[in-house]
Amino acid sequence: MSELKSRIAQRMVAATLKAAREASLKPVAVAVYDARGALKAFQAEDGTSLRRGEIAMGKAYGAIALGVPSRTVGAMAVERPHFIAAASHIVDGPLVPAPGGVLIRDKRGALLGAVGVSGDLSDKDEAAALAGITAVGLAADAGT
Amino acid sequence: MSELKSRIAQRMVAATLKAAREASLKPVAVAVYDARGALKAFQAEDGTSLRRGEIAMGKAYGAIALGVPSRTVGAMAVERPHFIAAASHIVDGPLVPAPGGVLIRDKRGALLGAVGVSGDLSDKDEAAALAGITAVGLAADAGT
Amino acid sequence: MSELKSRIAQRMVAATLKAAREASLKPVAVAVYDARGALKAFQAEDGTSLRRGEIAMGKAYGAIALGVPSRTVGAMAVERPHFIAAASHIVDGPLVPAPGGVLIRDKRGALLGAVGVSGDLSDKDEAAALAGITAVGLAADAGT
Amino acid sequence: MSELKSRIAQRMVAATLKAAREASLKPVAVAVYDARGALKAFQAEDGTSLRRGEIAMGKAYGAIALGVPSRTVGAMAVERPHFIAAASHIVDGPLVPAPGGVLIRDKRGALLGAVGVSGDLSDKDEAAALAGITAVGLAADAGT
């Protein structure tokens, strides 16, 4: 399994926050996990609500747990709410079925981890996550 | 209680994986439980997502916990989502309301355990589980 | 409530990791929480074990939850193990009773949050957390 | 991160069970996890108690979660019971502080996963896990 370096994860957090400010998003929290589902880097902007960070974490961790972007998890939750409700009990971590959790892949397509963003509309959160991943030259998989 | 032998459980895992490869399924995880709800044998193919194994376990364990195939648990979840949501809290193990968790019965219809598969579309997962059970000469109950 | 700024939290993470490298600690994870018990900034160095980050979080969060440094939580756990065992169930977050979770206070003594470090011996983890807090000109309360 | 292949995990289970039979151990359960803390292969022999498998899982998963063999986790639990009691709440999976959970490393020392065995005395369980790892030409780290 390819490994996501701490230094790269930190750069993705900074690039994601830079994109969020440039797009004038509401205050966001951003979480970067590696392929093990271990948190590598995180930052919450000033003004984020008490558990906003957990929502960002749940977008990224849930994506890694199920192997699909959180946008796809959200679509699954619309089609089969009972399945995602059940999955949220058994993935041993937070799972948020909404856009903003984007998978990070290397050039060969191997999973490196995921970036999760929460604070504004889910589509805007996702755009910031995408910007953070591409800023470090890695491939972003946000689903369709 | 009829007993599912470890050797038979292992043969069901191998036969299920063989069927999954012959049908070109995406990478799957397969779990075989006995009638007590104890895991007897498990294998996850390379390329399965971080928590794919827990989903396979939840199809099999949930089927044993409620005494019906996971396809039926899924139908119950559509008709009575609140009931399955509550049940998922109280069964002391994972419960996944989707096809792919098939009950194993002996010739007299006595429950021996269940096979759970996850990785591709639920119907394809279920077909692999069925193949794994019939390969060892036992009766499969997938619900209707 | 005094507010711990995101920018300051990020600087504390960087200063803590700088101190950890200068002291040649094993790979560490560092978590910075604000006074609400909300994660503000986090980074895990390469080579940290799968759940090392949760231990760092539990030193910082547990300190805020009980209002004392994690060194004191550890002393309480030795004197009254049953109390800390119970507390760990009810604080709605991770609690780790070992040195390395240091409270952050402003000049007037008001609580701003906590820094948690895990990776090496608890005393070394604590020294890195202390260095991270003092590097930004805030007061560190590690207990005695 | 190096990856533990499913085929190798299955061979480790078979070799572990072979060693357990040759040493006439009581019925055992064996679990093999990869470095992500995802179960790759598992088998429980006939005659194992209802939750014996979970104990084997907790020896292997706990070792990966904390980055040390379960023998070391056990030593930590004797020295600092409150710390391991707290850790068992926060590692997002089972943790068993007793010998029998052995880390798997590649030639360069990179962590590949862990094998957990439970059923007889912990030292005997550990010997079976060691035999299972060395049988496939990988390095076993059982602690000292």
ipTM higher than the 0.90 cut: yes
Which residues of A are less than 8 Å from D1 in CB distance?
1-3, 35-36
pTM exceeds 0.90, yes or no? yes
Is residue A34 in some structural domain? yes
Q: CB of A83 within 8 Å of any CB in chain B?
A: yes
Is residue C69 in some structural domain? yes
Is residue C1 in some structural domain? no
Q: Does the pLDDT value for residue A83 go beyond 60?
A: yes
Average confidence score pLDDT of chain B: 96
Is residue A54 in some structural domain? yes
Distance from CA of B51 to the nearest CA of D (A): 7
Is residue D1 in some structural domain? no
| Per-residue DSSP letter, C25 | P
A–D touching, 3+ CB–CB pairs within 8 Å: yes
Best of B50, B55, B79, B88 to disrupt the A interface (most A CBs within 10 Å) is B50
Supply the range of the domain harboring residue C82.
Answer: 6-141
- Given this model, what pLDDT does residue B47 score? 96
Is residue C125 in some structural domain? yes
| Per-residue DSSP letter, B121 | -
Q: CB of D37 within 8 Å of any CB in chain A?
A: yes
Residue of B nearest to A61 (CA): B50
- d(Cα A132, Cα A127) in Å, to the nearest integer? 9
Q: Nearest Cα to B63, choosing from B136, B15, B133?
A: B133
Is residue A1 in some structural domain? no
Is residue B1 in some structural domain? no
Q: Contact D45/B6, CB-based, under 8 Å?
A: yes
Distances (CA, A) of C6 to A47, A101, C33: 9, 21, 10
Measured from the Cβ of residue C104, the count of other Cβ atoms closer than 10 Å reads: 30
Q: CB of B78 within 8 Å of any CB in chain D?
A: no
D–B touching, 3+ CB–CB pairs within 8 Å: yes
Contact B73, B101 (CB under 8 A): yes
Q: Contact B74/A67, CB-based, under 8 Å?
A: no
Average confidence score pLDDT of chain D: 96
What is the DSSP code string of chain A?
-----HHHHHHHHHHHHHHHHHTTPSS-EEEEEETTS-EEEEEE-TT--TTHHHHHHHHHHHHHHHTS-HHHHHHHHHH-HHHHHHHHHHSSS----SS-EEEEE-TT--EEEEEEEESS-HHHHHHHHHHHHHTTT-EEE---
Number of domains chain B contains: 1
- Given this model, what pLDDT does residue B75 score? 96
Which residue bears the tokens 């995180």?
A42
Distance from CA of A110 to the nearest CA of B (A): 10
| C73: CATH | 3.30.450.150
Q: Does the pLDDT value for residue B1 go beyond 60?
A: no
Least-confidence region, from A5-9, A88-92, C124-128, D66-70: A88-92
